[in-house]
Amino acid sequence: MQVYRVGGAVRDRLLGLPVKDIDWVVVGATPQQMLDLGYQAVGKDFPVFLHPDTRQEYALARTERKSGHGYTGFTVHASPEVTLEEDLLRRDLTINAMAQSDDGQIIDPFNGQADLQAKLLRHVSPAFSEDPVRILRLARFAARFGFSTAPETMRLMQQMVVDGEVDHLVPERVWQELAKGLMEDKPSLMFAVLRESGALARIAPEIDALWGVPQRADYHPEVDTGLHTMLVLDYAAAQGAPLVTRFAALCHDLGKATTPPDVLPQHIMHEARGVPLVEALCQRLRVPSDCRDLAVMTCREHTLVHTAQQLRAETVLKLFIRCDAFRRPERFGQMLDACLADARGRYQFENCDYPQPDYLRRLLAAANAVNAGEIAQQCSDKKQIPQAVESARIAAIKAAILN
């Protein structure tokens, strides 16, 4: 019985990165031997055990054979005869197919160290094509490490898309991988891989459709809506924005792909057209409600936010009410952060002056200062309370605008 560190723990150590989770593989053991040593069995699909003291996961060395579509269509074989190299062979990328023994020796049968040095993401074997989730994982690693994809691996992923493997992905798993990739330092690199492989058009056609759609005439002429969206997303990531804000940044311009070109310069229609697209994307991928709601709000309101300093007090109040800003100021602030990313997600605009968020926060604070309870007490006709509170808030917003 031999125990090895495997996968990401070995990779990250070689890269000089913090090792968060350690995965272990056990060669030459049976499930009963693990139980006799005090390990707790937790694996449903294959033999995985929790260490009695550290609670870390130890998996028996195994092989996998394709038996159906998607990432669940596998038959697993685990036995004491499975070698370490056979276990590593079933893994996705060479940089994830290394092991380390207790004495520190690196076992690297597929040249993962060389690919780390070359900053390349390369599949271990043709079995990569049997699991479409691996396309998403590779794209996510591209966003994390800034690595390129080996040409032969990209060709393999493109063929997987043509063969329809991506169409069998479970929506929840797609969202899980996309959400992880969105939280990387450079999430645009994930979408670059997904676009080049053809997978983005299958899993998120609303986003894929943005490339080739022109931006406004005053934008950089080489920046179409797809590239602009990636700049917006990367700006949000650079600010350390939470997932909800990054997803809102990703979805804010979805309507432009369905808006006639002659309407685009005026930005009259694309917000309204975008909302159903955001909702459809979120429904299909089972996106959590907090991400969906902020993305819909940002898509609907971001152009209005851009013109905040030209808005009448009545319009500002309607914006606050639509966004439920009085009850959920934090979410409203996240929407403003997405709008800031939109304004600065352009070449040479990374540090442009954008006072709208602070301006609207100041007006919201003024409207919030209105004492609704006091107004209610002063109203003899209770039916007039909502109108009286609205009038007082408009007056407060007007005063704040003048100041």
pLDDT digits (tens, 9 = 90+) for 215-267: 765 556 567 899 999 999 999 999 999 999 999 999 999 998 887 655 554 45
Q: What is the pLDDT of residue 46?
A: 74
DSSP, collapsed to helix, strand or coil, labels residue 156 as helix
**What pLDDT score does 266 carry?**
47
Buried b (16+ CB within 10 A) or exposed e, 364-377: bebbeebeeeebee
User: Terminus-to-terminus CA distance in the chain, angstroms?
Assistant: 76
Q: Beginning with the edge strand found earlier in the chain, give each strand of the sheet holding 106-107 in spatial order.
A: 40-41, 48-50, 57-60, 23-27, 2-6, 99-100, 106-107
Q: Which CATH superfamily is domain 1-114 in?
A: Beta Polymerase, domain 2 (3.30.460.10)
3-state secondary structure 301-350: HHHHHHCHHHCCHHHHHHHHHHCCCCCCHHHHHHHHHHHHHHHHCCCCCC
**Radius of gyration of the chain, Cα coordinates, nearest whole angstrom:** 26
Residue 379 is predicted with a pLDDT of 83
pTM of this structure: 0.89
DSSP 3-state assignment of 213? Answer: coil
pLDDT confidence of residue 69:
55
**Segments of the chain scoring below 70 in pLDDT:** 45, 66-75, 216-222, 260-270
Instruction: Say which DSSP state 30 is in.
Output: -
Token readout for 26 is 């056990």
Task: Delimit the domains of the chain by residue range.
Answer: 1-114, 372-402
CB 366 within 8 A of CB 399: yes
**How high is the pLDDT of residue 260?**
60
Ranges assigned E (strand) in 28-119: 40-41, 48-50, 57-60, 62-66, 74-78, 99-100, 106-107
- Give Cβ neighbours of residue 132 (< 8 Å, ≥ 6 apart): 70, 71, 160, 165, 166, 168, 169, 199
